[in-house]
């Protein structure tokens, strides 16, 4: 009997212990298909997905995201409330239709280091995961077996990754000036993660070095189905824009010329004017033009469009700035995935909450079709007949009508009809009263042949920019509009004329050549309207105090009801002050978020 009991006890103990072991295993994670770094760099499909992620993360995009339609990883602009606006909305080019749109936080509050997420146009944090992904890719791509990806292709992929890092730094350069140089995936093995800012010169050199490393390994073109990847032209464009910034007055100056007093001039200027920087900028721009001529990249002309030459609207400019994958585009953001990348939102989007309208300030840079200047109302609050407005608008140069939709008539470049044909009468969003609107008309750039699409590629580099980069730098270096660089394809004036001619305006006359810088300022305002250049151009020329700090003007359209029946209207328009904006000299540069400064690796930019 006792033996039985002992055996029973023994059994019980064994069962307990055995079950205990299996019990403990319930805490193990059951196997599931987890992907790790080793998985990613084990075959072509995974490795390519890591490369494409760099594109997704680092190619700049200027169209807003739809409200609430942010990408999952909250990269790009979505970390700031500015994600629902265009850069143009904080310049003198445009403003958002309605008050509460995010771009407006900058306009009413300026930049603020402390509440950065709300006020800023850019989020300091958003590019770094992409830069990390790029360096991780460069570090690990060799792990992929050669039979999956041959060596030569790996070399090219590394060059793409480097060019994309350079692109991200180029994008940050005018915003933050000098930056910490991150040249590997930060983390294990680093004594500190707190990488300090390098000097502005070192930052620029870092961008140029990455470009130089990438250029030899990149192709001029890709097969049609891989369009959108980084060609040799991309690092050339990065160099051109970077060197143009480096040569311009904001950076190319000594500490005594700084906008604001600052203990660290090495972070915001190149500590001395050097004229040779203009030559480098000119040559870099010319390199783009030379490369383009051999790589099948050229300006869109009327001949490129079906029925083009006879089209009175001179569609070439609209086509070049709107059509996806046209031959003038060197790099565009093609990262949209949902059914709406916010394009419609940012532009006019049935006049709902978030569209853009064009300011009176910027349209003064446009000319009439005959290249003479238009006279716009100067007396404020003077009621003028609406018909006069219509006349004036229709006198403007072709590019104007590809940018601005004259109120009260059909959009000049739409194929879509219906609700889109009139503004603001008859189809005002019922959430706003007429007085909520500013502007001389809705912005319709990027809308050539618009028929209701919600997705557009944001153009990062378009060939036309480099004609103007070349013209400006060459004229600055040689002091003459008729000069050209030793290898130059054009004189400065010829380069501008190419752009003007394509835009449907006569070439420069002698008087204009003599006042060439003014023409450059004007031509960039027109040709590159709303493409995200003006915010930087006015700063690098150090004229932002006037352009962004001055008073903004708008037109207003009034439709009065006579008596109690709504059958007869009187219509008039008037010029008035637009909503006042905040501008401070500190806004020449962006603040680093205070919480990042508090972490102890960044010296804050001046004025914050």
Site for other proteins in 449-508 (CB under 8 A): 457
For residues 50-109, which are near other proteins according to CB under 8 A?
Answer: 50, 52-53, 55-57, 59, 71-73, 99-100, 108-109
Contact 573, 556 (CB under 8 A): yes
Tallying the residues shown for the chain, one arrives at 608
Is residue 193 packed enough to be buried (19+ CB in 10 Å), middle (13-18) or exposed (0-12)? exposed
| Cβ atoms of 334 and 64 closer than 8 Å | no
User: Which of 8, 10, 194, 410 touches other proteins (CB under 8 A)?
Assistant: 194
Q: How many CB atoms lie within 10 A of CB 132?
A: 18
A 10 A CB-CB count for 25 gives 9
Choose among 495, 490, 487: nearest CA to 287.
487
Decide if residue 180 touches other proteins (CB under 8 A): yes
Would you give the binding string for other proteins spanning residues 397-426, x where CB under 8 A is met?
Answer: ------------------------------
Smallest separation, CB 27 to other proteins (Å): 5
Position 384 contacts other proteins (CB under 8 A): no
Q: Under rule CB under 8 A, which residues in 124-153 are in contact with other proteins?
A: 124-125, 128-133, 136
Return the structure tokens found at 318. Answer: 């609209």
Tell me the closest approach of the beta carbon of residue 489 to other proteins, in angstroms: 27
Options 21, 28, 68, 370; binder of other proteins; rule CB under 8 A: 28
Between CA 429 and CA 431 the distance in angstroms is: 5
Verify binding: residue 219, other proteins, rule CB under 8 A: no
Query: Which residue of 364, 542, 576, 585 would you call a contact of other proteins, by CB under 8 A?
Result: 576
Q: How far is the CB of 61 from other proteins (least distance, A)?
A: 11
User: Residue 581: phi, psi to the nearest 5?
Assistant: -120, 160
Token pair of 229, please?
């990847």
Joined together, the tokens standing for residue 110 give 């300026």
Dihedral pair phi/psi, residue 333, rounded to 5°? -80, 120
Interface size with other proteins, residues (CB under 8 A)? 90
Is 226 in a helix, a strand, or coil? Answer: helix
Contact between 568 and other proteins (CB under 8 A)? no
Whole-number Cα distances in Å, 127 to 54, 330, 598: 10, 21, 20
Sheet holding 356-358, edge to edge: 94-96, 356-358, 441-442
CB nearer to other proteins: pick between 179 and 499: 179
Residue 186 is a binding residue for other proteins (CB under 8 A): yes
Residue of the chain from 7, 14, 18, 114 that contacts other proteins (CB under 8 A): 114
DSSP state of 81: G
Q: How far is the CB of 464 from other proteins (least distance, A)?
A: 19
Selected range binding other proteins among 123-131, 145-153, 231-239, 306-314, rule: CB under 8 A: 123-131
Q: Are 281 and 293 in contact (CB under 8 A)?
A: no
In this complex, which beta carbon is closest to other proteins, that of residue 99 or of residue 216? 99
Provide the 3-class DSSP secondary structure of residue 443.
strand
Binding part of the chain for other proteins, among 23-31, 405-413, 495-503, 531-539 by CB under 8 A, reads 23-31
Query: How far is the C-alpha of 350 from the C-alpha of 427, rounded, in Å?
Result: 9
Other beta carbons within 10 angstroms of residue 403's beta carbon come to: 28
Residue 564 is a binding residue for other proteins (CB under 8 A): yes
> What is the nearest approach in angstroms of other proteins to the Cβ of residue 572?
13
Choose, by CB under 8 A, the member of 8, 11, 18, 37 that binds other proteins: 37
Q: Which of 64, 235, 335, 344 binds other proteins (CB under 8 A)?
A: 335
Q: Pull the structure tokens for residue 462.
A: 């378009």
Nearer Cβ to other proteins (254/431): 431
Rounded Cα distance between 64 and 355, Å, is 10
Site for other proteins in 588-607 (CB under 8 A): 593-596, 598-601
| Candidate list 435, 486, 510, 511; residue touching other proteins; CB under 8 A | 435
Letters for 263-302 (x = contact with other proteins by CB under 8 A, - = none) are ----------------------------------------
Question: Is residue 115 a contact residue for other proteins (CB under 8 A)?
Answer: yes
């Amino acid at each position: 009997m006792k033996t039985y009991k002992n055996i029973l006890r023994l059994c019980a103990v064994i069962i307990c212990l055995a079950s205990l072991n299996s019990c403990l295993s319930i805490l193990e994670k059951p196997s599931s298909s987890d992907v790790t770094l080793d998985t990613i760099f084990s075959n072509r499909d995974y490795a390519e997905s890591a490369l494409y992620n760099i594109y997704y993360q680092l190619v700049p995009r200027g169209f807003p995201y739809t409200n609430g339609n942010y990408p999952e990883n909250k990269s790009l602009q979505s970390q700031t409330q500015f994600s629902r606006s265009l850069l143009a909305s904080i310049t003198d080019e445009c403003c958002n239709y309605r008050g509460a749109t995010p771009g407006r936080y900058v306009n009413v509050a300026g930049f603020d280091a402390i509440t950065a997420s709300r006020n800023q146009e850019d989020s300091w944090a958003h590019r770094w995961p992409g830069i990390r992904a790029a360096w991780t890719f460069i570090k690990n791509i060799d792990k992929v077996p050669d039979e999956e990806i041959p060596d030569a292709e790996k070399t090219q992929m590394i060059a793409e990754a480097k060019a994309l890092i350079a692109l991200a730094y180029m994008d940050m350069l005018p915003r933050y000036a000098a930056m910490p140089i991150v040249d590997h995936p930060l983390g294990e093995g680093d004594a500190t993660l707190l990488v300090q800012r390098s000097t502005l010169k070192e930052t620029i050199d870092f961008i140029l070095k990455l470009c130089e490393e990438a250029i030899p390994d990149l192709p001029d073109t890709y097969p049609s189905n891989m369009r959108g990847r980084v060609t040799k032209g991309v690092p050339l464009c990065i160099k051109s824009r970077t060197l143009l910034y480096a040569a311009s007055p904001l950076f190319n100056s000594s500490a005594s010329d700084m906008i604001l007093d600052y203990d660290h001039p090495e972070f915001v200027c190149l500590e001395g004017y050097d004229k040779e920087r203009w030559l480098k900028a000119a040559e870099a721009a010319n390199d783009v033009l030379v490369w383009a001529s051999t790589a099948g990249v050229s300006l869109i002309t009327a001949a490129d469009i079906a029925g083009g030459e006879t089209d009175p609207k001179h569609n070439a400019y609209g086509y070049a700035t709107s059509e996806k994958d046209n031959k003038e585009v060197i790099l565009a953001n093609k990262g949209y995935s949902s059914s709406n990348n916010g394009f419609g939102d940012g532009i006019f989007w049935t006049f709902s909450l978030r569209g853009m309208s064009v300011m009176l300030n910027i349209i003064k840079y446009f000319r009439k079709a005959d290249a003479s200047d238009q006279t716009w109302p100067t007396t404020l609050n003077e009621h003028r007949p609406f018909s006069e407005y219509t006349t004036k608008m229709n006198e403007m140069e072709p590019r104007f009508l590809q940018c601005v939709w004259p109120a009260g008539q059909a959009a000049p470049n739409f194929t879509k009809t219906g609700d889109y044909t009139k503004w603001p009468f008859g189809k005002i969003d019922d959430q706003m009263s007429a007085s909520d609107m500013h502007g001389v008309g809705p912005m319709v750039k990027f809308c050539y042949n618009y028929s209701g699409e919600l997705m557009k590629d944001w153009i990062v580099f378009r060939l036309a920019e480099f004609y103007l980069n070349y013209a400006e730098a060459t004229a600055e270096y040689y002091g003459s509009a008729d000069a050209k660089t030793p290898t130059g394809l054009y004189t400065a004036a010829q380069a501008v004329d190419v752009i003007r001619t394509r835009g449907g305006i006569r070439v420069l006359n002698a008087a204009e050549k003599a006042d060439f810088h003014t023409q450059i300022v004007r031509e960039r305002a027109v040709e590159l309207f709303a493409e995200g250049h003006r915010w930087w151009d006015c700063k690098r020329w150090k004229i932002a105090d006037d352009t962004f700090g001055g008073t903004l003007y708008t037109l207003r359209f009034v439709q009065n009801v006579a008596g109690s029946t709504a059958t007869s209207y009187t219509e008039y328009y008037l010029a008035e002050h637009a909503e006042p904006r905040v501008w401070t000299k500190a806004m020449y540069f962006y603040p680093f978020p205070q919480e990042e400064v508090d972490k102890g690796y960044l010296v804050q930019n001046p004025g914050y």
